[in-house]
Amino acid sequence: MCGFYVLEVFLEVKRGDFLSRRIPEEVIENVRSNVNIVDVVSQYVQLSKSGKNFFGLCPFHEEKTPSFSVSEEKQIFHCFSCHRGGNVFKFIMEVENVSFPEAVLRVAELGNVQLDDELLKFRSDSTENESSDATKLKNLYNEAAKLFHHILVNTVMGEDAMQYLLKRGLTAEMITEFNLGFAPDKQLLLPFLQEKKADQDLLHRSGLFIETTEGKLRERFRNRIIFPIRDAQERTVAFSGRLLEKNSNLPKYLNSPETAIFNKRKLLFNFDKAKGEIRQKKFAILFEGFMDVLAAYRSGIKNGVASMGTSLTNEQVYLLERATQKLYICYDGDVPGQTATARALSLLDPVTKMTLGVIRMPEALDPDEYVQKYGTDAFKEIAQNTHETALAFYLHYYEQGRNLDNEDDQLAYLADVLKQLAQVISPVEQDIYLNQLAKRFGLEKSSLLSQLNEFIRKTGKNRKKVQATGKKGLLASNPEKKKSYDKVEKAERLLLYRLLHSANIRLKLRQLTGYSFVHDAYQELYTIAEGYFNVYPEYETARFLDFLDDDGLRQLLIELELENYSREENEEEFSDCVSVIMRQSPLEQHIKEIKQQLADAKRMNNEKLITKLTIELVALLRRQQEAKSASL
């Protein structure tokens, strides 16, 4: 009776958990059963299949070798390095830093699962209940973005800015899709936010205003077209403002300062919209400016991103690496643009696994100018079909300012090109370019090869390390060493796995008198499992994970599911496991009791009893260690 009472209490607690989450169990179950975790995770991590599972770079910590695994069969994820794991809801909670109800709604959205309108209110309700500074700031920026967009599309103040954008080729639909706005040279945002009861201290820290010497707030963005900067979850966290009229005393672009929600090193313009297309196309395009990204977008090129006036940071590189193995740089076609391209390649090549390439713009035009001059179809043709390797770019780049009929210029050119070729790992690629150079300049290939090898010797320490295959890319890896367990714990783990997957084993265990696991974690997982099976007749790993609030238990379950246990059970195995565990249980229980008595004796300062219990405990621990050693 006691056991059934405990289970009833447990079930009520779990039902209370679901109610506190405010989304009905049937809705959660509907979303879970209609969404494949691989499809959801693939929108955040570039996955490659290896055996039964999928692997990629972990989104929760920086790494060079993939240790992040997704099991399609069990609908779970696990990182062998940082040990985070769980089901699809847990993944979204971790990667987007949202609550459980938000995660359910987000998974439904990503998996195209239709929900009743009534359920969608949970999203706004949960947002309203959050009180963190970050949430308040995001709400503030969301309100500011609404105001700027309204001014642009619906007011006389925004007419000039609207006409400017339309003349640049943007459509009204694109302006709405990207939520572009306009900040006039008037104090409108401050009273607008104050009317919405925005916290004064938050306004000071928001980055939306500049504080005068008198302590008053002045709007940071004035007479500027506003480009919202969004995080990967499509939430506005900053703005970049472009001057509408030329003014030599002011910067052409002005970005929000860094805040609690905005770190420009970690974000890329349009990555929130582009990440899905990047994974589908299997490459990303890096542009110099926001208008270039938008020009490409209206040309049908939707896998473009831009940094915010700076070179790509390591954080931005890692963001792209999780989405693709290939990056093309498409900067302006003029000399400064090509110099910037060369600088970007030199910075990126030593730190990324991505294959780097270049899309060179003709006629010294930038992408936006090219679209305006030749149209969207012409640009689309270039963006899709004129990719070149980094080496091919350098062959053209080093020609700038040189007369290759001049012997000195020719030698300098060859030296620069061969230095770049020395960084190339592939012997085949090296051979192709050596043949091209030998033919072009009428030289012996052997002499070029000799100089190349000299450069390789000098720069060998700096050459990028690649996988043994010679390819850049994702290879499944499990850097975690296999844990070792004594005989008792091995038996506990196997038996726990069996009872989760077999109703027959569960029935046999229930029929045993006085059975319990030796280690508390296994016993707790067993107790929760009993409660789970009173709700659901069938075991599903992803669903059971929702019953586990403790990260340690969640990690234990995932470890068990990733063990290579056979699916076949037999009577002898069951008997052996139970025998090993129950032989150890009395000793473990005795040790626990002595430890408790010892703690009580210490509280009472009973030195005589402390000495007696310590001697007894040492003897018991020695017996325990001998038993474990004998079982290894």
What is the CATH classification number for the domain harbouring 81?
A: 3.90.580.10
State the Cα–Cα distance between residues 402 and 417, nearest whole angstrom. 13
* Predicted local distance difference test score (pLDDT) of residue 590: 65
Predicted confidence (pLDDT) at residue 288 exceeds the cutoff of 80 = yes
Looking at per-residue pLDDT, the higher value among 114 and 627 belongs to 114
- Taking the C-alpha atoms of 407, 408, 413 and 416 in order, what is their torsion angle to the nearest 10 degrees? 140
* Predicted local distance difference test score (pLDDT) of residue 419: 93
Domain residues for the domain of 609 are 487-631
Residues near 538 by Cβ (< 8 Å), separated by ≥ 6?
none
* pLDDT band, residue 245 (cuts 50/70/90): confident
| 117 and 16 within one domain | yes
| 148 and 242 within one domain | yes
Is residue 106 one of the residues assigned to a domain? Answer: yes
* Predicted local distance difference test score (pLDDT) of residue 109: 87
Is residue 290 one of the residues assigned to a domain? Answer: no
Does this model's pTM top 0.85? Answer: no
Helices (H), ranges, 22-81: 25-34, 37-41
| 595 and 522 within one domain | yes
Tens digit of each residue's pLDDT (9 = 90 or more) over 598-610:
888 888 888 888 8
CA angle centred on 364, ends 359 and 366, rounded to 5°: 60
* Predicted local distance difference test score (pLDDT) of residue 8: 44
* Predicted local distance difference test score (pLDDT) of residue 117: 65
Residue type, 123: R
| 45 and 57 within one domain | yes
Q: What is the DSSP string of 268-321?
A: -BTHHHHHHHHHHHT-EEEESSHHHHHHHHHTT---EEE-SSSPPPHHHHHHHH
Tens digit of each residue's pLDDT (9 = 90 or more) over 309-325:
777 888 899 889 888 88
State the Cα–Cα distance between residues 630 and 433, nearest whole angstrom. 65
Q: Which residues are bridge partners to 328 per DSSP?
A: 285, 357
Mean pLDDT of all residues in 378-393? 93
| 154 and 78 within one domain | no
CB distance 583 to 623 below 8 Å: no
Is residue 332 one of the residues assigned to a domain? Answer: no
Predicted confidence (pLDDT) at residue 540 exceeds the cutoff of 50 = yes
Tens digit of each residue's pLDDT (9 = 90 or more) over 456-506:
888 764 555 433 333 344 444 444 556 788 888 999 999 999 999 999 999
Mean pLDDT of all residues in 123-138? 64
Looking at per-residue pLDDT, the higher value among 460 and 287 belongs to 287
Kindly report the average pLDDT of the chain as a whole number: 85
CATH number at residue 564: 1.10.860
Distance of CA 334 to the CA centre of its chain: 35
* pLDDT band, residue 121 (cuts 50/70/90): low
Is residue 305 one of the residues assigned to a domain? Answer: no
Tens digit of each residue's pLDDT (9 = 90 or more) over 227-238:
999 987 788 999
State the Cα–Cα distance between residues 467 and 65, nearest whole angstrom. 10
* Predicted local distance difference test score (pLDDT) of residue 626: 62
For 267-280, letters b (16+ CB in 10 Å) and e give bbbbbbbbbebbbe
| 191 and 121 within one domain | no
Is residue 411 one of the residues assigned to a domain? Answer: yes
Tell me the two tokens of residue 260.
């609690």
* Predicted local distance difference test score (pLDDT) of residue 122: 56
| 32 and 111 within one domain | yes
| 125 and 110 within one domain | yes
Predicted confidence (pLDDT) at residue 44 exceeds the cutoff of 70 = yes
* Pairing assessment for the beta strands 209-211 and 217-219 based on DSSP bridges: antiparallel
| 146 and 125 within one domain | no
* Predicted local distance difference test score (pLDDT) of residue 190: 95
| 256 and 150 within one domain | yes
* pLDDT band, residue 353 (cuts 50/70/90): confident
| 572 and 555 within one domain | yes
Beta strands in 387-536 (DSSP E): 387-389
State which of 78, 107, 129 marks the end of a domain: 129
Among the residue ranges 80-89, 130-139, 222-231, 419-428, the one predicted with the least confidence is: 130-139
Tell me the two tokens of residue 389.
């390797």
Mean pLDDT of all residues in 111-130? 63
State the Cα–Cα distance between residues 88 and 110, nearest whole angstrom. 11
Is residue 185 one of the residues assigned to a domain? Answer: yes
* Predicted local distance difference test score (pLDDT) of residue 177: 96
CB distance 313 to 267 below 8 Å: no
Number of domains in the chain: 4
* Predicted local distance difference test score (pLDDT) of residue 589: 65
* Predicted local distance difference test score (pLDDT) of residue 3: 42
Taking the CA atoms of 300, 302, 307 and 311 in sequence, report the sign of the dihedral they define. Answer: negative
State which of 95, 113, 129 marks the end of a domain: 129
* Predicted local distance difference test score (pLDDT) of residue 629: 59
* Predicted local distance difference test score (pLDDT) of residue 269: 96
Query: Angle of helix 133-154 relative to helix 159-167, nearest 10 degrees?
Result: 80
Is residue 363 one of the residues assigned to a domain? Answer: no
| 249 and 137 within one domain | yes
- Phi, psi for 569 (deg, rounded to 5): -110, 155
State the Cα–Cα distance between residues 407 and 419, nearest whole angstrom. 18
Mean pLDDT of all residues in 248-271? 91
* pLDDT band, residue 164 (cuts 50/70/90): very high
Please report, for residues 125, 140, 192, 201, the alpha-carbon distance to residue 197 in angstroms, rounded to integers and kept in the order given. Answer: 18, 11, 9, 12
CATH number at residue 223: 3.90.980.10
* Predicted local distance difference test score (pLDDT) of residue 302: 96
State which of 95, 112, 129 marks the end of a domain: 129
State the Cα–Cα distance between residues 343 and 9, nearest whole angstrom. 64
* pLDDT band, residue 1 (cuts 50/70/90): very low
Mean pLDDT of all residues in 395-415? 93
CB distance 91 to 73 below 8 Å: no
Is residue 286 one of the residues assigned to a domain? Answer: no
**Number of other residues whose CB lies within 10 A of the CB of residue 150:** 14
Query: Angle of helix 427-441 relative to helix 445-459, nearest 10 degrees?
Result: 130
CB distance 397 to 324 below 8 Å: no
